[in-house]
């Protein structure tokens, strides 16, 4: 009993002096606070980023305003070269459009990496505008643009979830199937 009294008295003195050790808590490492390594995540997904495509007209790939990066619209670059072209509801299925939107996502990731040096500097995908080259009666634009959105979530997790518009267009440059522009919050 005397030992318990001594222990309680010692503990109360330490607390009153501000010297009591806080309860043991797990402290996050810098890597854990930063989140998953996006470059490693791309490897796990089997995604190899191409060189960022050069703009085809009088514009730049990205403009930074504060901590926001506005990416110009990009299309679905095929790994072997050229673009996925065609019109949804006519020459392309929803599944082919989804795959084209995913390729467009890979193109935008390449631009992000070129602009930032590392995809780990992405804090959040904020806004995506997906444009689908489609016939007037085609109505599955969201399912097509999901190819892009799903990729952003696969790569960035919760930080990849974004606000979005998915709209149909009578035509797109060079006859591409999909074009996507995005706004990204960066460090």
Q: Under DSSP, is residue 37 helix (H, G, I), strand (E, B) or coil? A: coil
Question: Long-range contacts of range 87-93, CB-CB < 8 Å, 24 or more positions apart?
Answer: 87/133, 87/134, 87/135, 87/177, 88/132, 88/133, 88/134, 88/135, 88/138, 88/140, 88/141, 88/144, 88/168, 88/177, 89/134, 89/135, 89/137, 89/138, 90/134, 90/135, 92/177
pLDDT of residue 56: 83
Mean pLDDT of all residues in 134-153? 98
pLDDT of residue 20: 42
Domain with CATH 3.30.1330.40 in the chain: 36-186
- The string of DSSP letters for 100-118 reads HHHHHHHHHHHHHHHHHS-
pLDDT of residue 22: 44
pLDDT of residue 35: 62
pLDDT exceeds cutoff 80 at 9: no
Mean pLDDT of all residues in 129-137? 98
Mean pLDDT of all residues in 92-116? 98
Are 46 and 58 in contact by the 8 Å Cβ rule? The answer is no
pLDDT exceeds cutoff 50 at 97: yes
Q: By percentage, how much of the chain surpasses pLDDT 90?
A: 79
Are 99 and 147 in contact by the 8 Å Cβ rule? The answer is yes
pLDDT of residue 19: 45
Q: By percentage, how much of the chain surpasses pLDDT 70?
A: 81
pLDDT of residue 36: 75
pLDDT of residue 34: 53
pLDDT of residue 31: 40
CATH topology for the 36-186 domain? 60s Ribosomal Protein L30; Chain: A; (3.30.1330)
What pLDDT digit, counting tens, does each position of 23-59 carry?
444 443 344 445 679 999 999 999 999 999 889 899 9
Mean pLDDT of all residues in 148-159? 97
Residue 124 Cα distances to 35, 67, 89, 95, 158, angstroms:
12, 10, 33, 27, 8
Mean pLDDT of the chain, nearest integer: 87
pLDDT exceeds cutoff 60 at 83: yes
pLDDT exceeds cutoff 50 at 8: no
Residues, the chain:
187
* Stronger pLDDT, 3 or 83, i.e. the higher one: 83
């Amino acid at each position: 009993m005397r030992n318990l009294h001594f222990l309680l008295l010692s503990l109360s003195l330490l607390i009153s002096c501000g010297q009591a050790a806080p309860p043991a808590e797990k402290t996050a490492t810098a890597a854990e606070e930063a989140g998953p390594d996006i470059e490693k995540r791309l490897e796990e997904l089997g995604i190899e980023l191409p060189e960022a495509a050069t703009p085809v007209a009088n514009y730049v790939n990205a403009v930074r305003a504060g901590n926001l990066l506005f990416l110009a619209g990009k299309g679905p670059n095929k790994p072997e070269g050229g673009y996925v072209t065609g019109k949804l509801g006519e020459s392309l299925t929803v599944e082919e459009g989804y795959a084209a939107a995913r390729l467009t996502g890979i193109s935008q990731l390449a631009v992000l990496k070129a602009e930032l040096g590392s995809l780990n500097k992405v804090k959040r995908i904020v806004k995506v505008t997906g444009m689908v080259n489609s016939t007037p009666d085609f109505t599955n634009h969201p399912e097509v643009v999901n190819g892009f959105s799903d990729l952003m979530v696969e790569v960035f997790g919760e930080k990849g979830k974004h606000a979005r518009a998915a709209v149909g267009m009578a035509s797109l440059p060079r006859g591409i199937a999909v074009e996507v522009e995005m706004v990204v919050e960066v460090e």
